[in-house]
Chains A and B, each alone.
Chain A
Amino acid sequence: MAERVAARVSSPSYQAYQILHVAFTVAPVIAGLDKFTHFLVNWDQYLSPMMPRLGLSVHTFMLGVGVIEVVAGLIVAVAPRIGGWIVGLWLCGIILNLLTIPGYFDVALRDLGLALGSFALARLSEEYAS
């Protein structure tokens, strides 16, 4: 059993797990924090006009999005088995949102690739997350 575990954690698949674990912790945290700083970009442009904003301004709504993304990244950090699904499903929501705004479909394609990566992390976490 110990040998099997040792063989597992030295395997290329374990490295794949580590890479995805880092990526899907860091990226949601950065994207979430930047909803407050707008260092990377003005994120408010991405909110679909069709999205019900609960009476909030676009910027306030996106700040709420940012908080959720930071929390999602932290969940991936401590519990990637669950966090991988949360981030993947969140990205699916972002894709639906972006598909209602013409001109951002290429961004939606990127998010599709990211969603698949997040689901892959969730599967790998079944093997490697303690």
Chain B
Amino acid sequence: MIAVVHPTRNERDAYRLLYAGFIAAPMIAGFDKFTDKLGNWDRYLADGVAEKLPVERHTFMQAVGLIEMGAGLLVAAKPKWGAYVVSAWLAGIIANLWTKPQYRDIALRDFGLALGALALSRLAGDMSSTAA
């Protein structure tokens, strides 16, 4: 017997929280690479990476911003796959931040966010089996 289990209200709530969060946060963080209203994002780029770049640090971070906005849109359209992309992206950010000892607490935060994105991807797998 195959038990068809529909998502419960609690699961749906959890999904909606993470779905909204992982659309909004990458979009805001990406957009702010151009405005620097939230913080100076350029300082986070590993110096070893920045040295090897053919472009300026700020230009590179704007490209990062474009990718992040794209990732946010991907979560909106295809949450199951978009959340994996965001999670992998955050893993890259963690590796980058670990080279800068003064930002390791931010790496810890991004570790929590990466696991949150993984959880969203798992939840999306359950939601897509019904009209979510």
Q: Which residues of B contact A42 (CB under 8 A)?
A: 102
A108-125 vs B, CB cutoff 8 Å, 1 = contact: the mask equals 111111101101110110
Given contacts A106-B29, A113-B25, A116-B17, contact A124 B113 (CB under 8 A): no
Q: Which residues of B contact A43 (CB under 8 A)?
A: 105
Report whether over half of chain B's contact residues are helix, strand or loop; otherwise say mixed: helix
Q: Are A4 and B105 in contact (CB under 8 A)?
A: no
Cα A3 to Cα B2 in complex, Å, equals 9
Q: How many A-B pairs fall under 8 Å by CB? A: 135
Q: Does B85 contact A (CB under 8 A)?
A: no
Determine the interface band of chain B, counting residues with CB < 8 A from chain A: 35 or more
Q: Does B120 contact A (CB under 8 A)?
A: yes
Cα A103 to Cα B122 in complex, Å, equals 34
B116 interface neighbour in A3, A117, A126, Cβ under 8 Å: A117
Cα A110 to Cα B15 in complex, Å, equals 18
State how many residues of chain A have any CB contact under 8 Å with chain B: 46
- Identify the closest chain A residue to B40 (Cβ): A103
B residues within 8 Å of A by Cβ? 1, 3, 5, 7-8, 10-11, 13-15, 17-18, 20-22, 25, 28-29, 32, 37-41, 101-113, 115-116, 118-120, 122-123, 125-126
A to B CB contacts below 8 Å, 8 in the list:
A13-B11, A13-B122, A15-B122, A16-B120, A110-B113, A117-B113, A121-B14, A126-B10
A residues within 8 Å of B by Cβ? 3-4, 6-8, 11-13, 15-17, 19-20, 22-24, 27, 30-31, 34, 39-43, 103-114, 116-117, 119-121, 123-124, 126-127
Contacts A110-B110, A123-B14, A127-B11 supplied; 8 other A-B pairs, CB < 8 Å: A8-B5, A12-B122, A13-B11, A20-B116, A23-B112, A23-B115, A120-B13, A124-B14
